[in-house]
Amino acid sequence: MKRATQSTETPQVGRSVPRLESWLKVTGRAEYVHNLRLPGMLYGKIFRSSVAHGRIKRIDVSAAQALGGVHRVVTGEDVRKLVAEPYYGPAFHDQPVLALDKVRYVGEPVAVVLASDPHVAEEAAHLIVAEYEELPAVYDEVEAMSSKAIVHDTLKPAGTFPDLKHLKGRTNTNVALDFHLRRGDVQKAFAAGHRIFEHSFRTQQVMHTPLEPLVSVAESTESSLTLHTASQSPSFVRSEVARLLAWPENRIRVRVPYLGGGFGAKLYIKLEALVAVLTLLTRRPVKISLTMEEQFFTITKHASTFRIKSAVAPDGHVVARECEVWWNGGAYADIGPRITQKSGFTAAGPYDIDNVLIDSYALYTNLPPAGALRGFGIQQLVWAYESHTDMMARALGADPVEFRRRNLLRDGRPQATGTVMRDAALEKVLDRVCVLLDWSKPFDRGAGSVRRGRGIAIGFKACVSPTTSVAAVNVNADGSCTVYCSTTDMGQGSDTAMAQIAGEVLNRATESVSVVHSDTGVTPYDMATLGSRSLFHMGNAVKLAAEDARRKLDQLKSELGLSAEAEIGEIFKKKYGMQAGNVLGTGSYVPTYKSPDQNGLTDNATPFWMVGGSGVELEVDTQTGRVRITRLVNVADVGTPINPKIVETQLSGASIMQLGFTLFEKMQFDASGQLRNASLAEYKIPGFLDIPEAIINEAVVAEQKTGPFGAKGVGETGTFSVSPAIANAIEDAVGVRLTSLPMTPEAVYMKLQESK
């Protein structure tokens, strides 16, 4: 390792530096909240609702309370004594810390048992009895539009989003956001005699299943509260818990070590409000660790229904597109309304279409809540519009690549919202997918019962905006430097990337730069680690902070009469007469943004575009319906990679995760809203035997001019196009079209039977 105090001329950006925490992770010593035990700590075990929708008539905790070793049992009414309005959420203040008056899905937290021994807490939780007056429930997102079953009596938008204000106080509806976009005149274009295509697609509810299940620990004094939590959004946790308690933010400290995976599951408030209340009620440290099973009752990915209709002119141009999307948000809105709007921007796909109509609805239902999962709704959309695109190309007898190429958005052209495309390498990504898939070469179509096919797809995403990141870079008296930022490293390598950026600016070897993990008592504000935003936003903030430090050091050099080449250590020695002092650079970054108008139009929808394309070669066994992927190609525009190896592993890992959502993962509910497969025994995630024979990942040569050293985010990009590329390849292989996920062997087999 280079000495931390020495400067280096070696470029730090563009190097495939191994993750800074590598040693910690391969020796099992990385810090996770999972590992934390505090003196006097109580373990909490949650008692959950057994009905999907009901009024709470009675909760009998007496037997649980009487069990030896139980410290206390807490219900929603106890919470209400401490917090008058104990409802939280980023978009709606709709989710109670513990159920109050009503329960809205099976698995909703109703009470908590606290004990020093987690086994005692668990045993006691089984002794709690609750009685409910059951109410009619609704589970399907389309039915929820008109259902008589109403999940929330009154809508309570948080007030932070202007586009939710009109929903305040609304009753008798399950619609938690309706987003509408109107561009051109769709009706006129549909009436002009062009070929019209209309299809519907569905996606299923799935779960992130981070292998470190959700976990939070809280400790308190009479005037302060510290949360140690596996969170992707420490700044939000602090402000939301402060709001609930009516405390100033500086009395609440949120610490986040490494995360054992996040994928969007660990955003906003999950267990943090609950453990905060519990420590304040008991004056003891409290830890709640969910089991894998309980995670399924906490946060999931939206199921969706998407109706898409297009008009195609004789020259092969798509001239009009109508999109209607229903998002199944479950019982609490979480960030669903944001997903509905932001993904609504791009629901018509990366195509240059003059007339676009988009209606996108976030719905409440009586299922576990849905939130962000590695794409903010993008996969559900790409699944639909790229399947639709292929179906049209086939019906028109056009090559699916040529059909896309003819309609693709070019840089400088306005996208559906009116925002002009910049630094979005759509054409290049499509070209490279085709090259890597040998699209123009002859293809072996298989024989007998094993048929081969191939397919491609391309998707894009607008990054959530506007969001703020603030960073600080401290240069110590010996010349070493430390980055302070609230970005959470959940495996995506953000610590390493931020160190590379600071090292590049300050001529320090990346390996010598320290990164202080999120601690709201120390690290500055960051909106959250989500939506592939951190490398761009926090990367820009860290770059600005490092440049600020460098400017201050240069100024000191000139004040002290030192040469420009002087080592940093010399500056401090000369200024303070010894190795003392420090220089702190700060930087903040918030991109410009314009809210959409009443037609959903804005000329500034996003700070950057993400582009991801996939190509698939596969085999279908026509006797079993089993799909075997022989080659998967993922190509992305990530700007100029800061760390090429980490970029590659992000693309690869994201595509493998999406394979699970495409081929087998599905939360299965019975008619009364009971989840039947809440464990890894029955809910299978991809393992070694599920990965394709070959995976090829590539970042095209590109530059995001507004990004730090030309870079932009990559965490989600590899997921975008996997599902439709597979559906397109299945049709190519065996001539049947699947329009619902997952495409299990049974589903493929049934389609094959139908087509006979």
Partner 1 sequence: MRREIRFRLNGEAVSAQVAPHETLVELLHGGFGLYGARESCGQGLCGCCTVLVDGRAVSGCLYLASLVEGAEVSTVEGGKELDAVQQAFIEASGFQCGFCTPGFVLMTRQLLDEIPDPSEEDIKHYLSGNLCRCGAYPQIIEAVKLAARKRSRA
Binding residues (CB under 8 A) for partner 1: these are 18-19, 21-30, 32, 34-35, 37, 119, 208-213, 258-263, 291-293, 490-493, 645-646, 649, 652-657, 679-681, 685-689, 691, 695
Which pairing describes strands 481-484 and 446-447: parallel, antiparallel, or unpaired? unpaired
Angle ∠(735,747,301) on CA atoms, nearest 5: 115
Q: Give the Cβ contact number of residue 381 at 10 Å.
A: 31
Two tokens, residue 232: 């992707």
> What element of type H or E holds 119?
helix 118-125
Element (H, E) at 541: helix 534-560
CB 20 to partner 1: min, Å: 11
Closer residue to partner 1, CB minimum distance, 117 or 249: 117
The C-alpha atoms of residue 457 and residue 616 are separated, in whole angstroms, by 9
In angstroms, rounded to a whole number, what is the distance separating the alpha carbons of residues 95 and 106? Answer: 14
**Pick 16 or 154: Cβ nearer partner 1:** 16
Residue 387 CB, nearest approach to partner 1 (Å): 23
State the DSSP H helix or E strand holding residue 611, giving kind and residue range, or none if neither: strand 609-621
Quote the least distance from Cβ 655 to partner 1, whole Å: 7
Q: Give the three-state DSSP class for 100.
A: coil
The interaxial angle of helices 272-282 and 234-245, nearest 10 deg, is 50
Judged by CB, which is closer to partner 1: 210, or 375? 210
In degrees rounded to 5, what are phi and psi of residue 309? -140, 135
Query: Please, which residue, 23 or 576, has the CB nearer to partner 1?
Result: 23
| Residues 215, 289 contacting (CB under 8 angstroms) | yes
The yes-or-no answer on residue 716 being catalytic is yes
Minimum CB separation of residue 650 from partner 1 in Å reads 8
> Cβ closer to partner 1: 313 or 691?
691
Residues 572 and 580 sit within 8 Å (Cβ to Cβ): yes
Is 430:613 a contact under the CB 8 Å cutoff? yes
CA nearest 677: which of 290, 207, 264, 305? 207
Tokens at 289, concatenated: 């660790």
Phi/psi-derived region of residue 667, left when phi > 0, alpha when psi is between -120 and 50, beta in every other case: beta
- Choice between 240 and 698, CB closer to partner 1: 698
User: Which one, 288 or 409, has the nearer CB to partner 1?
Assistant: 288
d(CA 178, CA 501): 40
50 contacts 57 by C-beta, under 8 angstroms: no
The catalytically annotated residue of 617, 648, 716, 731 is 716
Distance between CA atoms of residues 336 and 305, nearest Å: 15
Largest Cα span, the chain: 88
Closest distance to partner 1 from the beta carbon of 680 (Å): 4
Cis peptide bond prior to 90, omega within 30° of 0: no
Residue 299 CB, shortest distance to partner 1, in Å, is 15
CB of 30 to partner 1, least distance (A): 5
In the bound state with partner 1, the residue whose beta carbon lies nearer, of 26 and 671, is 26
Give min distance, CB of 23 to partner 1, in A.
7
Q: Which is nearer to partner 1, 245 or 663 (CB)?
A: 663
Work out how close the CB of 665 gets to partner 1 at its nearest, in angstroms, rounded to a whole number: 11
Minimum CB distance to partner 1, residue 371 (Å): 17
Phi/psi of residue 146, nearest 5 degrees: -125, 5
| Residue placing its CB nearer to partner 1 in the complex, 34 or 199 | 34
**Which residue number, 16 or 599, has a Cβ lying nearer to partner 1?**
16
CB of 208 to partner 1, least distance (A): 8
| 119-126 long-range contacts, CB within 8 A, separation 24+ | 120/67, 120/68, 120/69, 120/70, 121/42, 121/43, 121/44, 121/45, 121/70, 122/45, 123/67, 124/45, 124/63, 124/64, 124/65, 124/67, 124/70, 124/73, 125/45, 125/46, 125/47, 125/64
3-state secondary structure of 407: helix
Residue 454 contacts by C-beta under 8 Å, 6 or more apart in sequence? Answer: 437, 439, 443, 615, 616, 617, 618, 729, 732
Write out the catalytic residue numbers.
Answer: 716
